[in-house]
Structure 1
Amino acid sequence: MSQKVYDMLEARGYIAQVSHEELRDKLNNEKITFYLGIDMTGDSLTAGHFQTLMALKHLQEAGHKLILLIGGGTTLVPDPTGKNEMRQIMSPETIQKNAEGIMKQMEKFFQFGGEDGAIMVNNADWLTKLNYIDFLRTYGPYFSINRMLNMETYATRLDHGLTLLEFNYLPMQSYDFLHLYREYNCVMQCGGTDQWSNLLGGVDLIRRIENGQAYALTFNLLTTADGTKMGKSVAGAVWLDGERTSPYEFYQYWRNVEDVSVEMLLKRLTTKSLDEIAELTREGGQALNHAKEVLAWELTQMIHGVEEADKAKAASRALFSGQGALDDAPTSRMPDAIGREWLDILVELGLIQTKSEGRRLMKQNGLSLNDAKLTDPYAVAAEADFRQGYALLRKGKKVYHKVTLL
Structure 2
Amino acid sequence: MNLLEELQWRGIVYQQTDEEGTQQTLEKEKISLYCGVDPTADSMHIGHLLPFLTLRRFQKQGHRPIVLVGGATGLIGDPSGKSEERKLQTLEMVDYNVKCIQKQLESIFDFDSENGAIMVNNYDWAGSMDIVTFLRDYGKHVGVNYMLAKDTISSRLDTGISFTEFTYTILQAMDFLHLYENHNCKMQIGGSDQWGNITTGLELIRKMAPEGSKAFGLTIPLVTKADGTKFGKTESGAIWLDPEKTSPYEFYQFWINAADADVIKYLKYFTFLSREEIEVLEQSVKEEAHLRKAQKALGEEMTRLIHGVDALDQAIKISEALFSGEVKNLSAAEIKQGFKDVPSYEHTSGEDIGLVELLVAAKISPSKRQAREDVSNGAVYINGERVAETDYVLSSEDRIEDQFTIIRRGKKKYHLIKY
Per the alignment, residue 339 of structure 2 pairs with 331
Deviations 1:290-317 (A, max 9, x none): 2111111111111222222122223223
Shift of 1:30: 1.9
Shift of 1:172: 0.8
Shift of 1:392: 5.0
In the alignment, is the contact (CA less than 8 A) between 1:37 and 1:69 conserved in 2? yes
Deviations 1:307-335 (A, max 9, x none): 22122223223334557767245235752
Matches within 5 A, 1:143-182: 143-182=142-181
In the alignment, is the contact (CA less than 8 A) between 1:44 and 1:101 conserved in 2? yes
Per the alignment, residue 234 of structure 1 pairs with 235
C-alpha distance in structure 1 between counterparts of 2:260 and 2:28, whole Å: 36
Aligned: 1:116 with 2:115: yes
Aligned: 1:390 with 2:406: yes
Distance 1:306 1:325, change over 3 A: farther
SS in 2 for 1:302: helix
C-alpha distance in structure 1 between counterparts of 2:345 and 2:230, whole Å: 34
Equivalent AA in structure 2 for residue 72 of structure 1: G
In the alignment, is the contact (CA less than 8 A) between 2:35 and 2:52 conserved in 1? no
Shift of 1:403: 1.7
Matches within 5 A, 1:333-348: 334-335=345-346
In the alignment, is the contact (CA less than 8 A) between 2:111 and 2:118 conserved in 1? yes
C-alpha distance in structure 2 between counterparts of 1:392 and 1:193, whole Å: 46
Equivalent AA in structure 2 for residue 335 of structure 1: E
Aligned: 1:253 with 2:251: no
Shift of 1:253: 0.5
Per the alignment, residue 354 of structure 1 pairs with none
Per the alignment, residue 405 of structure 1 pairs with 418
SS in 1 for 2:69: strand
Aligned: 1:14 with 2:12: yes
Aligned: 1:133 with 2:136: no
Shift of 1:132: 1.0
Shift of 1:69: 1.2
Gaps of 5+ in 1: 344-368, 372-382
Q: Percent identity?
A: 40
In the alignment, is the contact (CA less than 8 A) between 2:408 and 2:414 conserved in 1? yes
C-alpha distance in structure 2 between counterparts of 1:402 and 1:25, whole Å: 60
In the alignment, is the contact (CA less than 8 A) between 2:35 and 2:51 conserved in 1? no
Shift of 1:137: 2.1
C-alpha distance in structure 2 between counterparts of 1:180 and 1:86, whole Å: 28
Larger Rg: 2
In the alignment, is the contact (CA less than 8 A) between 1:35 and 1:67 conserved in 2? yes
Q: CA-atom RMSD, angstroms? A: 2.9
Match of residue 296, structure 2, among 249, 272, 293: 293
Shift of 1:283: 3.0
Q: How many residues align?
A: 364
SS in 2 for 1:26: helix
Equivalent AA in structure 2 for residue 16 of structure 1: Y
Shift of 1:391: 3.7
Per the alignment, residue 280 of structure 1 pairs with 281
Distance 1:181 1:236, change over 3 A: same
- Normalising by structure 1, what TM-score? 0.82
Deviations 1:216-271 (A, max 9, x none): 11112221114444111111000111110011111110111111111111112111
Gaps of 5+ in 2: 349-357, 365-378, 382-392, 400-404
Matches within 5 A, 1:193-272: 193-210=192-209, 211=211, 212-272=213-273
